């Protein structure tokens, strides 16, 4: 989703990973989305934008067709996620959507000026928090108590794409409604969730939550309680912590970035 793109003499565009309130020292040593360019911070109206200078052809002109190549998409998506995670280890970040590029620094600066108030509100909301993904599976055999284990960036991106298409949880499933309400009570915010008609086998419900780091123990206790209560009937899977991909305010138009 190119923003303000024009012909550039050096054939490069600015690929945005996310925005932080403060600089990080030292700069995380992690590869860029193209596997070659480094990530670098630039100051934008009092905020810090994290970016790489990448090929205009690959990440602007031909981005849509490149995304049809699943091998290419998997590789660059993982690099995007790794870069965001490396920055998130040092400071809180508002992650950009995959494929957010700008023609130059002036177009990036202009975009941020127009959204400064929204970005500040997002920083306030995510402060001290991480994203966690929760899934409930229907099972027919005894399973172990769930553990919170991070998965690969590729698997996470796949699950997030599927989650956005899910309907609301059925009010007739009182157990899952009770669980979803308990999860919502400890979360700062929730995103997605519902009964599942397709996708992973036996997947009954899923959601993402924004959770205060200080409340991680509450989440672990809740998961253990419901897992023991459900025993052989259901299995709970929780992944995280992740940067708050699902909790950044998004523009209503594709021509804007975050």
Mean pLDDT of the chain: 82
- Taking 70 as the pLDDT cut, the residues of the chain under it are 1-9, 140-172, 193-199, 250-258
Reported for 183-187, long-range contacts at CB under 8 A and 24+ positions apart, including other chains, are: 183/134, 183/207, 183/209, 183/222, 184/209, 186/211, 186/215, 186/218, 186/219, 186/222, 187/211
What are the structural domain ranges in the chain?
2-127, 129-245
Query: What are 82-107's pLDDT values in tens digits?
Result: 999 999 999 999 999 999 999 999 99
- b/e code 63-82 from CB counts within 10 Å (16+ = b): beeeeeeeeebeebbbbbbb
pLDDT at 24: 86
CATH code linked to domain 129-245: 3.30.70
Total-model pTM: 0.76
How many residues are present in the chain?
A: 258
Query: What are 105-138's pLDDT values in tens digits?
Result: 999 999 998 888 999 999 999 999 999 999 999 8
Contact 94, 258 (CB under 8 A): yes
pLDDT at 151: 57
């Amino acid at each position: 989703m190119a923003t303000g793109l024009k012909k550039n003499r050096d054939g490069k565009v600015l690929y945005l990973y996310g925005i932080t309130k403060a600089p990080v020292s030292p700069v995380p040593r992690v590869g860029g989305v193209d596997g070659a360019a480094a990530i670098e911070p630039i100051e934008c109206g009092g905020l810090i934008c994290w970016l790489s200078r990448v090929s205009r052809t690959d990440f602007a002109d031909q981005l849509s067709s490149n995304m049809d190549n699943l091998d290419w998409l998997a590789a660059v998506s993982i690099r995007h996620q790794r870069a965001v995670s490396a920055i998130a280890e040092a400071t809180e970040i508002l992650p950009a959507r995959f494929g957010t590029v700008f023609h130059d620094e002036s177009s990036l600066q202009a975009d941020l000026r127009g959204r400064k108030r929204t970005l500040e509100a997002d920083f306030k909301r995510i402060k001290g928090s991480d994203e966690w993904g929760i899934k409930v599976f229907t099972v027919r055999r005894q399973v172990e108590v769930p553990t919170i284990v991070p998965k690969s960036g590729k698997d996470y991106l796949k699950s997030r794409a599927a989650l956005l298409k899910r309907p609301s949880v059925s009010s007739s499933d009182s157990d899952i409604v009770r669980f979803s309400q308990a999860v919502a009570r400890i979360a700062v915010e929730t995103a997605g969730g519902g009964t599942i008609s397709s996708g992973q086998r036996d997947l009954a419900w899923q959601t993402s939550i924004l959770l205060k780091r200080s409340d991680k123990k509450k989440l672990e206790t809740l998961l253990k309680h419901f897992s023991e209560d459900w025993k052989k009937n259901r299995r709970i899977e929780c992944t995280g912590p992740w940067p708050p991909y699902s909790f950044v305010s998004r523009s209503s138009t594709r021509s804007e970035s975050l």
